[in-house]
Structure 1
Amino acid sequence: MDAIELLLTRQSDSKLTEPGPSPEQLDIIKQAALRVPDHGCIAPWQFILVQGDARIKLGEMYYQCALAEQQSEKVVNRAKDLPLRAPVIIIAIAKYEEHPKVPRIEQIQSAGCSVLAMQQAAFAQGLGGVWRTGYFAQSNAVKQALNLNELDEIVGYLYIGTPAVDCKKSPRHKPESYFTNL
């Protein structure tokens, strides 16, 4: 798959199953995460790989955090199952570091770019992925359970696996609806 084809056909696949990425595929995904824009070369990222039984551990963490933060019954009841939706999850974190030339927003954007780069690397290798956020990305209890500090941001959970459904999605948006000339 060439770069233009990748950029124009990339999609999110929310129904993922085994097999997950091989060690070689995962290595390429990891390398892609580290090739994103990084003003000041400060590498404002951290990644936590969740696979195998660690997905059960993450689900239990979600469950305990949802209870502690008195989330809705729906959130609590789904918590343990969420990490089981894919064979591999990569938790992407923006590790903010005060810097005179690189504002916080740029560091968070860099971490966000890493998620897209990893998803594209997975897609280019015939895998599927979906970038998820929501309550568990915003929860202070989850951040504490992951030993993050208050300035760190969970920018997303990248779920990776084999698409369970072969469903090519056509483009939803037209460039002329979003681009104008100055």
Structure 2
Amino acid sequence: MQADTLLLNRNSHPKLAGELPDADTLEFIYQAALRAPDHGCIRPWRFIEFSGAGRERLGEIFFRGLMARNPQADEAQQNKVRMMTLRAPLIIAVIAKVTEDHPKVPVIEQVLSAGAAAQNMMLAAYAKNLGAIWRTGDVAFDPVVNQELGLEGEDQVVGYLYIGDVEGRNKPLPEHSTEDFVERWS
């Protein structure tokens, strides 16, 4: 796929199905992540891959987080949070693995680098004709979930990437004028 097509046509896909991407495709996606900008070459990323029964295990972790946040959650909310991890054949948690008090690279740069790694992964999935969506929500900021995923110190979940075959049609992409976003100082 041409880079211009990739960059201007990437779209988030909420409905994903199919099989787990093959090993070569997954390696390509991870290698793309590892090319993200990385001030100080500290590689402030960690990835947790969930597929098969691992998605159900993640759903149970999300459930425990929900119950800690909202012990009165009704049955519909409980079922929804348990089932949300079954929306794609693959989920990758992208974590900013933060080196606290780094002499040259502040925490914000480390988190942004992990975000850039996530974006590279989404573009790589799209380049391999897969769909993806970057999800956050309460589960990305939940201390129970973060503890069970092994986050430490200032580590942060920057998102959960849901990856699979696109199911359904593409949503229309909005047109934007660069004039609405670009300020030029000449």
TM exceeding 0.5: yes
Q: Report if aligned partners of 1:46, 1:93 keep a CA contact under 8 Å in 2.
A: yes
Take 1:27 and 1:166, find their aligned partners in 2: how far apart are those partners?
A: 27
Candidates 128, 135, 140, aligned match of 1:132: 135
1:75 deviation in Å?
Answer: 4.2
Take 2:20 and 2:4, find their aligned partners in 1: how far apart are those partners?
A: 25
Greater Cα offset, 147-156 or 168-177: 168-177
Candidates 98, 112, 115, aligned match of 1:109: 112
User: Map of 1:33-182 to 2, 5 A cutoff?
Assistant: 33-70=33-70, 72-73=73-74, 75-97=77-99, 98-167=101-170, 169-182=172-185
Q: Report if aligned partners of 1:20, 1:162 keep a CA contact under 8 Å in 2.
A: no
Take 1:113 and 1:159, find their aligned partners in 2: how far apart are those partners?
A: 16
1:69 deviation in Å?
Answer: 2.2
Q: Report if aligned partners of 1:92, 1:115 keep a CA contact under 8 Å in 2.
A: yes
User: Residue type of the partner of 1:152?
Assistant: D
- Pairs aligned (count): 182
Q: Report if aligned partners of 2:64, 2:145 keep a CA contact under 8 Å in 1.
A: no
In structure 2, stretches of 5+ residues that fail to align are: none
Q: Report if aligned partners of 1:16, 1:85 keep a CA contact under 8 Å in 2.
A: yes
User: Residue type of the partner of 2:41?
Assistant: C
Take 1:63 and 1:150, find their aligned partners in 2: how far apart are those partners?
A: 23
User: Residue type of the partner of 2:91?
Assistant: I
Take 1:159 and 1:179, find their aligned partners in 2: how far apart are those partners?
A: 31
Cα distance change of structure 1 residues 77 and 95 upon mapping to structure 2, 3 Å threshold: same
SS class of match (2:21): coil
1:101 deviation in Å?
Answer: 1.1
TM-score, normalised on structure 2?
Answer: 0.93
State, as a whole percentage, how many aligned pairs show the same letter.
Answer: 45
Take 2:161 and 2:151, find their aligned partners in 1: how far apart are those partners?
A: 18
Cα RMSD, aligned residues only: 1.4
TM-score, normalised on structure 1?
Answer: 0.95
In structure 1, stretches of 5+ residues that fail to align are: none
Q: Report if aligned partners of 2:94, 2:159 keep a CA contact under 8 Å in 1.
A: yes
User: Residue type of the partner of 2:110?
Assistant: Q
1:77 deviation in Å?
Answer: 3.2
SS class of match (2:8): helix
**Stretches of 4+ moved more than 6 A in 1?**
none
Corresponding position of 1:31? 31
